[in-house]
Amino acid sequence: MSPSMKIRVEPAHLKKITKREMAVRFVFGAVISVAAALIGRAWGEVTGGVFLAFPAILAATLTLIQHEEHNRRPAAQDARGAILGAAGMIVYAACVWVLATRIPTPLALLAGLGAWAVVSAALYFLVWDVFRRGRSGSGR
With a cut of 70, list the residues of the chain below it in pLDDT: 1-9, 14, 50, 52-76, 78, 132, 135-140
pLDDT at res. 140: 47
**Predicted local confidence at residue 35, as pLDDT:** 82
39 contacts 47 by C-beta, under 8 angstroms: yes
For the CA atoms of the chain, what is the radius of gyration?
Answer: 18
Read off the amino acid at residue 51: F
pLDDT at residue 1, as a whole number? 46
Q: Are 29 and 64 in contact (CB under 8 A)?
A: no
